[in-house]
Amino acid sequence: MNNIFDKIQESAEFINSKTTVKPKIGLILGSGLGVLADEIEEAVKIKYNEIPNFPVSTVEGHAGQLVVGSLQGKDVVAMQGRFHYYEGYTQQEITFPVRVMKALGVDTIIVTNAAGGANIDFKPGDLMVIKDHINLSGNNPLIGSNDNRLGPRFPDMSTAYKPNFVQLVKDCAKELDMEIQEGVYAFFSGPTYETPAEVKMARILGADAVGMSTAPEVIVASHSGMDVIGISCITNMAAGILDQPLDHEEVIETTQKVKAEFLSLVKTVVNKI
């Protein structure tokens, strides 16, 4: 079996053999944010290493399993742990699960991440609804031959993050009496955190947050015709803004501090979709 279409079908058939749930909403849970998957009821958990053609998570804070079940009365499939370009996977490999979610029946995907605040008005602990992204990785998951069954050769990205869904997230935050930022997410390959000069460049380019994921998944989700919602947890100020070094422990620590707010917001959004 060599083409991606057959691999997607094989992975989807394997997952469908483990559960009768037909999820309509997909969730990709970023570093330290996997706790949301523990709220999924009647959960069927499938380790990534059991699923044909799936990569495996290698990063602390990423459990490495697919969780299918019910959240807020909706049938969902969640990636408890994601794959990153910096782990050495291709952008096609890190976005393969999005293709599989589409094959399972998902038509709306919520992509979350931990990100650094490049906008100096942000503070660690902020949640940001993503209104657009800047792909600074120099790569793209759609490079290579295009299988028209998966999507168009030249996809439009004008409203990859649909304004009505951005507004939905803001309305949910307001309903929860929660402050929320709105902004642009810049995708760097990682694994290094940015230099102060790179953060300044990103800010000049219009970015409000910097991260190492999300954009490839959104490109493929949009290519597949899914509606996309992006939410960043601003876990630290990006390099050069505060006079302190960055580390992954701080990232995980901050996600644990804001997990109650993060859980409330995402569950409210799921309920309203």
Ligand X SMILES: O=P(O)(O)O[C@@H]1C[C@H](O)[C@@H](CO)O1
- Spatial contact of 104 and 15, defined as CB atoms under 8 Å apart: yes
- Spatial contact of 137 and 187, defined as CB atoms under 8 Å apart: yes
Question: Is 82 a known ligand-binding residue?
Answer: yes
234 is an interface residue for ligand X by CB under 6 A: no
> Is 133 a known active-site residue?
no
Q: What does R_g of the chain's alpha carbons equal in angstroms?
A: 17
Q: How far apart are CA 273 and CA 110, in angstroms?
A: 11
> Is 223 a known active-site residue?
no
Of 144, 111, 101, 75, the residue nearest 11 (C-alpha): 101
The entry of ligand GUN, ligand X, none that residue 82 binds, CB within 5 to 8 Å by partner kind: ligand X
The residue written with tokens 């580390």 in the block is 247
Mutual angle of helices 259-272 and 163-175, in 10-degree steps: 120
66 phi, psi to nearest 5 deg: -95, 135
Contact residue for ligand X among 103, 142, 251, 265 (CB under 6 A): 251
> Is 31 a known active-site residue?
yes
DSSP readout, 93-134?
HHHHHHHHHHHHT--EEEEEEEEEE-STT--TT-EEEEEEEE
Contact residue for ligand X among 30, 64, 141, 151 (CB under 6 A): 30
> Is 62 a known active-site residue?
yes
Interface mask (CB under 6 A) for ligand GUN, residues 211-250, using x and -? xx----------------------xx-x-------x----
Catalytic residue, chosen from 137, 213, 224, 232, is 213
Contact residue for ligand GUN among 90, 190, 200, 272 (CB under 6 A): 190
Q: Which residue is nearest to ligand GUN (CB)?
A: 116
> Is 238 a known active-site residue?
no
Interface mask (CB under 6 A) for ligand GUN, residues 98-117, using x and -? ----------------xxx-
* Binding-site positions: 31, 62, 82-84, 114, 194, 213, 236
- Applying CB under 6 A, the residues found at the interface with ligand GUN are 114-116, 188, 190, 193-194, 210-212, 235-236, 238, 246, 251
